[in-house]
Amino acid sequence: DAGVIQSPRHEVTEMGQEVTLRCKPISGHNSLFWYRQTMMRGLELLIYFNNNVPIDDSGMPEDRFSAKMPNASFSTLKIQPSEPRDSAVYFCASSPGRRNTGELFFGEGSRLTVL
């Protein structure tokens, strides 16, 4: 079975450029999470969706960040304009959403470097 699929795996860009990260959750999962991981701040929850609806975006750093989930099988996290401090590994995770087990299935992450 395919797990959570993220793209790109690596991206190097220059400050000011737009960055779009993509995620395909596991089929049948109805909750999707975006996390950011850095050495300094660890794993931070940015936003999560239930049934394609954003539930909590309080972790989104600022207006430069936006996330969408147009359907159950696709989500994007966009940074515009990007800044060097956005350099991090961005993880997408999905969850079945039923029985509230708390188990999240993570993708392999997208490593972003902003020069």
Partner 1 sequence: GQQLNQSPQSMFIQEGEDVSMNCTSSSIFNTWLWYKQDPGEGPVLLIALYKAGELTSNGRLTAQFGITRKDSFLNISASIPSDVGIYFCAGQTNYGGATNKLIFGTGTLLAVQP
Binding site for partner 1 (CB under 8 A): 4, 31, 33, 35, 42-43, 45, 48, 50, 55-56, 91, 93, 95-104, 106-109
Residues 6+ apart with CB under 8 A from 52: 69, 70, 71, 72
CB of 16 to partner 1, least distance (A): 28
CB of 96 to partner 1, least distance (A): 8
- Closest by CA to 23, choosing from 114, 81, 93, is 93
Tokens 């309080």: give the residue. Answer: 58
User: Residue 5 or residue 81: which is nearer to partner 1 going by CB?
Assistant: 5
CA angle 100, 33, 42 (to 5 degrees): 105
CB of 81 to partner 1, least distance (A): 26
